[in-house]
Structure formats: structure tokens, C-alpha cells
């Protein structure tokens, strides 16, 4: 896992904690959306890392 993906996962955790501590519904929802966005960025970073490894190994690239 790349440093980017690790950072994105840690930011998602921070936002989940913020959401858990929020007393206002709109703040809680904003933090939950931010957490989901950070998680999505982590997934994309992990997918990009896997693609780079496949390309470096000479494996054929499979497009989704």
C-alpha cells in the first residue's frame, strides 16, 4: 500500500471520529461524506499501485 493510500485511510478515520463526536446533524453528515471521499481516494490509490506493479512485472493491463 502506498503512503498516499495510508494517508487517505488515516484521514477517513479522523473524519469518522469527528462524525461520532459531532452534536449537529449537518456537521455529522459532512464528516461522513468526507470520510467516504477519503476512503474512495484510498481505493483509487491502491488500484493505481496495483496497476503500476502489474505494468512493472510485464503483465497485461486489464481495464475495468
Output the tens digit of pLDDT for each of the chain's 64 residues: 668 999 999 999 999 999 999 999 999 999 999 999 999 999 999 999 998 888 888 756 566 6
H/E stretch holding 26: helix 25-57
Residue 8's pLDDT is what? 97
Instruction: For CA atoms 47, 52, 3, 30, give the dihedral sign.
Output: negative
Q: How many domains does the chain have?
A: 1
Residue 61's pLDDT is what? 59
Q: Residue 64 domain-assigned?
A: no
Q: Residue 31 domain-assigned?
A: yes
Residue 39's pLDDT is what? 98
Q: Residue 61 domain-assigned?
A: no
The CA–CA distances, whole Å, from 63 to 15, 33, 48, 51 equal 32, 28, 12, 10
| Domain interval for residue 32 | 3-53
Q: Residue 10 domain-assigned?
A: yes
Amino acid at each position: 500500500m502506498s503512503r498516499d493510500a495510508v494517508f487517505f485511510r488515516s484521514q477517513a478515520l479522523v473524519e469518522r471520529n469527528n462524525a461520532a463526536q459531532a452534536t449537529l446533524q449537518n456537521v455529522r453528515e459532512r464528516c461522513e461524506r468526507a470520510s467516504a471521499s477519503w476512503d474512495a481516494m484510498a481505493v483509487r490509490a491502491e488500484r493505481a499501485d496495483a496497476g503500476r506493479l502489474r505494468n512493472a512485472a510485464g503483465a497485461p493491463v486489464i481495464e475495468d
